[in-house]
Structure 1
């Protein structure tokens, strides 16, 4: 892997570029919070060769949403469940729209 390949990965939302300490710092929270949302299975950090947790930008956005809910008084477990349900709803709406578009194409073709 060349240096250019490594830097290209930084643009990848799923690349686990952030250590637990850096992720907590960016979110303004603690490593314990990140462990708690990991235990609630909201996010699953990848592990470095040394076994350290690594987080992607995508995971940090999810963690930021969880922190927002917790800051509003929602318990961590409930915040995680809310985010999972929000994600499922978004996916269902996306699929529903795709089905509507496909059905619209089918009626135009007949």
Structure 2
């Protein structure tokens, strides 16, 4: 039986999904207000985790998504529309990634894609 080594506390620094940032700090990092973060949360673009005390906590990944929505809002796009655009961009990126994986897999097996 092998024993797994315990996770190092510093491993969380490398984890893009670790909810390390409070609402105030998150808003400061992306140059916006806590109200903006609440709005993108209400639009279900990002869902922050909650601390034991009920405070919102954001990950670096969530902040990158919120920052993209902020760029669109700064260009005049309404918050709800910006959130929908970011969601669609993310879905397109994932579909393209899966499509490329399928193409590589088909090429490696000698099959034509879709065959």
Shared fold (TM-score, shorter chain, > 0.5): yes
Report what 2:47 is aligned to: 44
Report what 1:11 is aligned to: 14
Aligned equivalent of 1:63, options 53, 63, 66: 66
Tell me the distance in 2 between the aligned counterparts of 1:104 and 1:46: 41
Task: Give a deviation string over 1:41-63, Cα, whole Å, max 9, x none.
Answer: 00000000000000000000001
Aligned equivalent of 1:73, options 71, 76, 79: 76
Tell me the distance in 2 between the aligned counterparts of 1:71 and 1:25: 16
Tell me the distance in 1 between the aligned counterparts of 2:86 and 2:106: 30
More helix by share: 1
Tell me the distance in 1 between the aligned counterparts of 2:92 and 2:37: 24
* Ranges in structure 2 where 5+ consecutive residues have no aligned partner: 1-6
- 2:104 matches 1:86: no
Tell me the distance in 2 between the aligned counterparts of 1:27 and 1:101: 37
Tell me the distance in 1 between the aligned counterparts of 2:9 and 2:53: 19
Which SS does the other structure have where 1:73 is aligned? coil
Tell me the distance in 2 between the aligned counterparts of 1:91 and 1:42: 16
Report what 2:26 is aligned to: 23
Tell me the distance in 1 between the aligned counterparts of 2:10 and 2:104: 38
